[in-house]
Structure 1
Amino acid sequence: MSTDRLPPAAPNPQERRHPAVRAFVVLLVAEAVFMIGLSAWFLFELVSATPTSFTSALAIFVILLIATAFVTALAIGAVRGRTWIRGGAVTWQLVQIAVAVGAFQGVFAQPAIGWCLLIPSIAVLGLLFTPAVAAVTRREV
């Protein structure tokens, strides 16, 4: 059998127990739990209150469900030590940073929400570039 077709080696179990890897996984799981809670709250609001535009509210809810599924898949992948989560984690953190920047400005600015989004996003991005997390999320080809 050719070595070109062998699956990549699993990360060293010691690397998966590193504090940076644990913090990375905990932050991704916390983001997923938050998104699940936000989806539940939005559904409750959708059925209990009368939105100005039901069609728009339903469209936002569908987008929220897609984002929740994405972040939950990332969190599950992080818990299982999958290498494919790296790009998705970077993408999600950049989306959160964009939303955080939007929360800091405008007529309806909510700086508290902005900080709650910005701090974990910067932490996850920083952890992604630590040697321990990079080793676990890197695919050796």
Structure 2
Amino acid sequence: IFVAATGLLLAMSTALVFVTGKGEDALYITAGVLLISFYNRIRTQDNFQSVVIFYLPLMGISLIGFLVAFFYYGITGALSISIGLLVSLAASWVQVMRISLHENFNHNDLFHVIQMLGMYLMYRGGLEIPPF
């Protein structure tokens, strides 16, 4: 649930740059419906693939949105967030491919180490974006 909520909030933070008024309400309603549908899905199919299927499109939407925010609106923090998203996607790929460095440092451990770098880049980028 936390991964789904994080993915939704990230995609919404991008989308809110581009929409106002009733569009915001539609985003909140859509996010709520998506979160409920994800919860219902993982009750019957609780596996990593279900999570990836849910958050991968959200990460793609977020990546495109932050790249647009950087190139067209000049929001510099959006570039750091975009790079952080790419690092996070690479971390997910490492986990899906089950790449391990050592028997005591498996694909899940490596995923989390790479993910920490991605989260740091997104955090730094977020600090550079002024409130609207």
Structure with larger Rg: 1
Q: Which has the higher contact order (CA 8 A, sep 6+)?
A: 1
Q: Same fold (TM over 0.5)?
A: no
Q: Could you say which structure has the higher helix fraction?
A: 2
